[in-house]
Structure 1
Amino acid sequence: MYEVRSLRTDAEREEAAALVQDRQRWLTMRGLPVPARADIPALFRDPQTRPAGLFEDGKLLACMIPDRDPVLGWGKGPCLVLGCVHTLPEQSDDITRLITLWASDFAARQGLPVVRAEALARHALDAEPVAALLRRLTDMGWEVRGSGPGREGDRVTRLELTAEHRSGLSALIGCHVHEPHAASDDRGIA
């Protein structure tokens, strides 16, 4: 069974920071973009960021920082923002699909109409490798809302997902995530 839960201990946060470092190393070795300005691993070590992780039988598969109504500079109205989403290197799109399903349901349960995220996009949106990523994400239900500067100044693709109650999802993905707080800080999304 999968579970999305808040990272509560120093050891869990350190494991998430290591996952982020592994993912960034993997991306760099393939010539893919990583955030230029933010120390993302440090964000996961900081308990104030209230990070969460996707686990399968106790193994951390992905980590993220869910925020409610942060200042993005784009999109209008209340939302859940998935910041700093990182998956283990060499993972299938199934992990991203699980995060998508969970985020849509979690936002709906929080009374939020949409989920927003940003993905690094140093190239035009129709150029590879960005285009391939966006095709996979739109197949999962995400909508591209253009591109521009992200919260950390990197060029990003802006993504939005409609919140939707998904009855029965709890049989596949358990949820033990803190209620996201309204954030006004300037964390980026990888």
Structure 2
Amino acid sequence: MHPTRTAGDGHPANSPFTSKSPAAVYEMRPLRTDAERAEAVALVQDRQRWLDQRGLQLTSPTDVSVVFHNRQSRLAGLFGDGKLLACMIPERSPRLRWGEDAYLYLGYVHTLPGQSDDITRLITLWASDLAARLGLPLVRTEILAREALDTGPTAALLRRLTDMGWDIRGSQLGQKGGQVARLELAAEDRPGLSPLIACHVHELLEGTDDRSSR
């Protein structure tokens, strides 16, 4: 994942970020165009309908749509065979009500309905690896919890996430209202991940620390 670069490449020889491997199955990259943002909004709306049908609505689709349409939002998407499978807003150390140390934060994470837990597991592997390459010790995220963390659908989701390596750090009132479960993942360098997923989102994160602006 970290091949040596020469001076002629225009990148530092010790840069932890690489160009896409031709063999990579998936790609995580910024969503830059209006069309890509619209595709992300459609994914979120599809996900919300899927949740509504099961009585599991977790977030406001209207709020998310506004955020994703905002050109100032630093959106990232996971693609497989050219299809958008997940979208999110990765940030470097935004100001939360918990955890003041440096970390990679994944906000507004949504996956395409009908996908297996493999997509969530892939996001987990990618995020822990990216945090390590950025020199950050942790990944953090929050999920809206409509009920106690040890009952119902929320408990089932949290069990799957803990099986993937996430730790539950309790619950609290979220940034946008509503009770959230706090999740934390240790950073881990995964040099063998690049044939599976190519990462192009470091430019959204390098040289920024959002704690000062929130």
State the TM bucket, normalised to the shorter chain. over 0.9
Q: How big is each residue's C-alpha offset from its partner over 1:61-93, in whole Å with a ceiling of 9 and x where there is no partner?
A: 000000111111011301110000000012100
Q: TM-score, normalised by structure 1?
A: 0.93
Count of residue correspondences: 186
Give secondary structure in 2 for the equivalent of 1:98. helix
Percent of aligned pairs with the same amino acid: 65
Which ranges of structure 2 fall in alignment gaps of 5 or more residues? Answer: 1-24
| Aligned equivalent of 2:27 | 3
Correspondence for 2:142 among 97, 114, 118: 118
| Closer, same or farther: CA 78–171 of 1 in aligned 2, 3 Å | same
| Aligned equivalent of 1:171 | 195
Residues 1:81 and 2:105 aligned together = yes
Q: Give the residue type in structure 1 aligned to 2:79.
A: F
1:158 Cα deviation (Å)?
A: 0.1
Distance 1:58 1:183 in 2: 31
Give secondary structure in 2 for the equivalent of 1:31. coil
Correspondence for 2:210 among 172, 183, 186: 183
Q: Give the residue type in structure 2 aligned to 1:115.
A: V
1:100 Cα deviation (Å)?
A: 0.3
Is the 8 Å Cα contact of residues 38 and 152 (structure 1) preserved in structure 2? no
Correspondence for 2:96 among 72, 89, 99: 72
| Aligned equivalent of 1:152 | 176
| Aligned equivalent of 1:20 | 44
1:36 Cα deviation (Å)?
A: 4.5
Correspondence for 1:55 among 79, 83, 86: 79
| Closer, same or farther: CA 91–108 of 1 in aligned 2, 3 Å | same
1:19 Cα deviation (Å)?
A: 0.4
Correspondence for 1:132 among 138, 156, 167: 156
Q: How big is each residue's C-alpha offset from its partner over 1:117-172, in whole Å with a ceiling of 9 and x where there is no partner?
A: 00111101110101110010000000000001111111010000001110110110
What is the root-mean-square deviation of aligned Cα atoms in Å? 1.5
Q: TM-score, normalised by structure 2?
A: 0.83
- The structure number with the bigger radius of gyration is 2
Is the 8 Å Cα contact of residues 35 and 154 (structure 1) preserved in structure 2? no
Distance 1:88 1:98 in 2: 13
Which ranges of structure 1 fall in alignment gaps of 5 or more residues? Answer: none
Higher mean displacement: 41-50 or 3-12:
41-50
1:20 Cα deviation (Å)?
A: 0.6
